[in-house]
Amino acid sequence: MKTINQLSISISECESMFVRAIEEAEKQGIGISLCVVDSSGVLKYFGRMDNAPLISIDISRKKAVTAIGFGMSTGEAWHDFIKDDPILNDGVVNIKDFILLGGGSPIVHDGNVIGAIGVSGGHYKQDEECVKAALNEL
Amino acid sequence: MKTINQLSISISECESMFVRAIEEAEKQGIGISLCVVDSSGVLKYFGRMDNAPLISIDISRKKAVTAIGFGMSTGEAWHDFIKDDPILNDGVVNIKDFILLGGGSPIVHDGNVIGAIGVSGGHYKQDEECVKAALNEL
Amino acid sequence: MKTINQLSISISECESMFVRAIEEAEKQGIGISLCVVDSSGVLKYFGRMDNAPLISIDISRKKAVTAIGFGMSTGEAWHDFIKDDPILNDGVVNIKDFILLGGGSPIVHDGNVIGAIGVSGGHYKQDEECVKAALNEL
Amino acid sequence: MKTINQLSISISECESMFVRAIEEAEKQGIGISLCVVDSSGVLKYFGRMDNAPLISIDISRKKAVTAIGFGMSTGEAWHDFIKDDPILNDGVVNIKDFILLGGGSPIVHDGNVIGAIGVSGGHYKQDEECVKAALNEL
């Protein structure tokens, strides 16, 4: 019988990423929400800092879902992929839970996408810094 | 870095299960819908026979989702688990996509739950026969 | 009494289209999801290849729903229809389950729209090739 | 101008509660999801253990939402409140995100409800033990 073997991120790594992302957020003077989905796009972890804006709850989740959906980071990567094609550019807006804003990234381990992280709360460039910090923790 | 290893059903097995379930359904003189979700509860396969009642579309999906949710078959297994406890009995109705009707079953391979199947279209006892036939195909 | 006679695609044709679409997808080196709705827009068939990106699940369904909704292919046909009219262009985004991305097509038989197919997983031009291959199978 | 002063749980307490709840879950041999909402019912924290059943994701959230909704624990407290009144008993099922299952509790500090916690994964009596352990941590 043929089966598929899928790797996913563990909860302990999620907790560590959140601790590290908070440090980076505090350095930048912002409050963030952080969301992690597993390699199937299923919710694994969510945390909202005490000073995070309410808008960050939904956005952080959508960034993680978008990043796992095609294994590609939100922000520049997705933007470059769609910007010169009107059908792609106008079409992605209706993908379920899609968000173009930077701050979502696949989590890669040994060449496997094992989940995705989404951070929201500051300017998306600040969110991206928090993602970078969190991923460096792994 | 700690990761989780998850086994899931492959698409070719889903196609075979559908072919086998249709045979059983025709033997029983019913039309069915069949739904398969992977080990993360994500939609993998769906087919609706030409004579399946419309109600079977949603029910087959819910049976698969319920079966993967706790790794337990719908119908007797879930019913026996809740029937003597009023809080359980009255509480399960609000679980997302939960359905008590028989015809949903985890798909088990070497002791691992690798997905779940849901069949709907006839009496739930007939649906269960179709599930059994499909699982025997694996 | 006046009634309506509606032709719809049968399940066996859906299974064949999926087999053929998979062949084309493998030729192109992509993994796809394929969704078929009947002439009433009701879900008839869905299959997800083992290497299809998660994003393809929702998009394939929306492409089929969009194609049956107005009897017109997604992608170029819809884009040409709306691009020079700002109200159309900005308005379609809120149609339920609408998606502009190519890879959705009505299934036509003897001049009747008998259903619609949606494929997602690669670039939309690749998805369109899989749709073409599937339709040639009929 | 009259304003309202609202106390809410902080994110650091959520992280501690999760650590403590995991310990209790491991002692009981189960895997859990834990969800915390603030005093406004807004998502504050979520974590899913690696061995938690999928069904626990939605249920843990609903338990927290139900507990904050009326400031009353799910399970026995809610059940005793409704059981002798048919209109209450049959009526609560349609409250948005309501769930009767035990394992949801308000988080009380100095007589103020500052949030709510929901745990799901085992039998609801086991979930309640994890809630108790988490609340003792505060």
Contact at CB, A13 and B1, closer than 8 angstroms: yes
Contacts of A36 in chain B (CB under 8 A): none
- Residue pLDDT, tens place only, D58-99: 999 999 999 999 999 999 999 999 999 999 999 999 999 999
Nearest CB to B109 within list A1, A114, A138? A1
The full length of chain B comes to 138
Provide the pLDDT confidence category of residue D115 given band limits of 50, 70 and 90: very high
Report, as an integer, the average pLDDT of A66-89: 96
- Answer whether B2's CB lies under 8 Å from A12's CB: yes
Model confidence at B1, pLDDT cuts 50, 70, 90, reads confident
Q: Which chains touch A (3 or more CB pairs under 8 A)?
A: B, C, D
Residue numbers in A near C81 (CB within 8 A): none
* pLDDT at residue B137 is higher than 90: no
Q: How distant is the alpha carbon of residue B22 from its chain centre?
A: 15
Domain housing C64: 11-136
The nearest CA of chain A is from the CA of D8 a distance in Å of: 9
Q: Quick one: closest CA in A to B39, which residue? A: A40
Backbone angles phi, psi at C47, to 5 degrees: -145, 140
The SS3 assignment for C26 reads helix
- Which of the four pLDDT bands, split at 50, 70 and 90, describes residue C129? very high
pTM equals: 0.97
Mean pLDDT on D34-49: 98
Interface contact A13-B2, CB threshold 8 A:
yes
**pLDDT band at B23, cuts 50/70/90?**
very high
CA dist D8 and D5 (Å) reads: 10
Q: What are phi and psi of B73, to 5 degrees?
A: -65, 145
From B3, B42, B109, residue closest to A114, measured CB to CB: B3
Residues of chain A above pLDDT 70, percent: 100
Rounded to a whole number of angstroms, the distance from the CA of B128 to the nearest CA of chain A is 22
pLDDT in tens, C103-124: 999 999 999 999 999 999 999 9
**Chain C partners within 8 Å of B50 (Cβ):** 10-11
Tell me the CA end-to-end span of chain C in Å, nearest whole number: 34
pLDDT at residue D105 is higher than 90: yes
- pLDDT at residue D133, rounded to an integer: 98
Position D103 in a domain: yes
| Chain A residue whose CA is closest to D8 | A50
Whether there are 3 or more C-beta pairs closer than 8 Å between D and C is no
Find all residues with CB under 8 Å of C129, minimum gap 6, and list them.
C24, C28
Average pLDDT over residues C99-105: 98
A1 lies in some domain: no
Q: What is the mean pLDDT of residues A2-24?
A: 97
Best of B38, B50, B56, B59 to substitute, by most chain C Cβ atoms within 10 angstroms, is B50
Contact between chains at B91 and D124 (C-beta distance less than 8 A): yes
User: In this complex, do A87 and C100 lie within 8 Å of one another by their Cβ atoms?
Assistant: yes
CA dihedral C77, C81, C84, C87 (to 10 degrees): -130
Are the CB atoms for C80 and C92 separated by under 8 Å? no
Non-local (6+) Cβ contacts of B104 within 8 A are B62, B63, B64, B65, B66, B67, B73, B74, B75, B116, B117, B118, B119, B131
Render pLDDT for A89-98 as a digit per residue (tens, 0 to 9).
999 999 999 9
**CATH number where C42 lies:** 3.30.450.150
Is the model's pLDDT at A1 over the cut of 90? Answer: no
pLDDT tens digits, C28-86: 999 999 999 999 999 999 999 999 999 999 999 999 999 999 999 999 999 999 999 99
Contact A11 D43 (CB under 8 A): no
In C42-117, alpha helices (H): 55-70, 76-82, 86-91
Residue C4 lies in a domain: no
How many Cα neighbours within 13 Å face the side chain of B64?
29
Lookup result for tokens 């094609």: A85
Residue C125 lies in a domain: yes
C-alpha B20, offset from chain centre: 15
For residue C52, the chain A residue with the least C-alpha distance is A70
Residue C52 resides in a domain: yes
Instruction: Number of B to D CB contacts under 8 A, please give it.
Output: 42
* Percent of chain B at pLDDT exceeding 70: 100
Q: Give dist(CA C67, CA C45) in Å, integer.
A: 15
For B98-116, the pLDDT digits (tens) are: 999 999 999 999 999 999 9
Residue C61, CA atoms < 13 Å, CB-side half-sphere: 20
Structure tokens belonging to residue D1? 């101008």
Please report whether residue B1 resides in a domain: no
Percent of chain D surpassing pLDDT 90: 99
Taking an 8 Å cut-off on Cβ atoms, the answer to whether B4 and A3 are in contact is no
The mean per-residue pLDDT over the stretch A32-59 comes to: 98
> Across all residues in chain A, what is the average pLDDT?
97
Q: Give the mean model confidence (pLDDT) for residues A57-63.
A: 98
Cβ atoms of A83 and A11 within 8 Å: the answer is: no
Whether residues A45 and D50 touch (CB distance < 8 A) is answered with: no
**Which region holds residue B111: left if phi is over 0, alpha if psi is between -120 and 50, else beta?**
left
Q: How far is D48 from chain A (nearest CA, A)?
A: 5
Give the model's pLDDT for residue A136: 96
CA distance A36 to chain D (A): 9
Closest partner residue to B46 (CB to CB) among C10, C43, C50 is: C43
> Which residue of A lies nearest to C79 if distances are taken between CA atoms?
A87
Interchain pair D48, A44: CB under 8 A: yes
- Chain A positions in Cβ-Cβ contact with residue B138 (cut-off 8 Å): 1
Spatial distance between the Cα atoms of B127 and B101, rounded to a whole number of angstroms: 10
Q: Please tell me whether residue D33 adopts helix, strand or coil conformation.
A: strand
DSSP conformational letter for D121: S
Nearest CA to A107 out of A81, A131, A76 is that of A131
Region A40-50 average pLDDT: 98
Angstroms from A83 CA to nearest CA on chain C: 14
Question: Average pLDDT of D23-48?
Answer: 98
Q: Does any domain span residue C5?
A: no
Residue closest to B87 by CA, chosen among C129, D73, A62:
D73
Tell if the CB–CB gap between C99 and A91 is shorter than 8 Å: yes
Asked if the interface predicted TM-score (ipTM) of this complex is over 0.85, the answer is yes
Confidence of residue A116 (pLDDT cuts 50, 70, 90): very high
In a domain, A28, yes or no: yes
Do the bridges between strand A104-109 and strand A112-120 make them parallel or antiparallel, or are there none, so unpaired?
Answer: antiparallel
Cβ pair B42:A40 closer than 8 A: yes
Q: Pick from A46, A50, A54: which is nearest to D46 by CB?
A: A46
Mutate to test the interface with A, among C33, C50, C59, C80 (most CBs of A within 10 A): C59
Place of tokens 């290849």: C49
Q: Name the DSSP class of D23.
A: H
pLDDT at residue A52, rounded to an integer: 98
How confident is the model at residue D137, as a pLDDT?
A: 85
Look at chain C and report how many structural domains it folds into: 1
Q: Which residues of B touch A40 (CB under 8 A)?
A: 6, 38, 40-42
pLDDT at B88 over 90: yes
Residue A137 pLDDT > 90: no
Candidate from B5, B12, B42 with C-beta closest to A5: B5
Chain B neighbors of C57, CB-CB under 8 A:
42-43
Secondary structure in 3-state letters for chain B: CCEEEEEEECHHHHHHHHHHHHHHHHHHCCCCEEEEEECCCCEEEEEECCCCCCHHHHHHHHHHHHHHHHCCCCCHHHHHHHCCCHHHHHHHHHCCCCCCCCCEEEEEECCEEEEEEEEECCCHHHHHHHHHHHHHCC
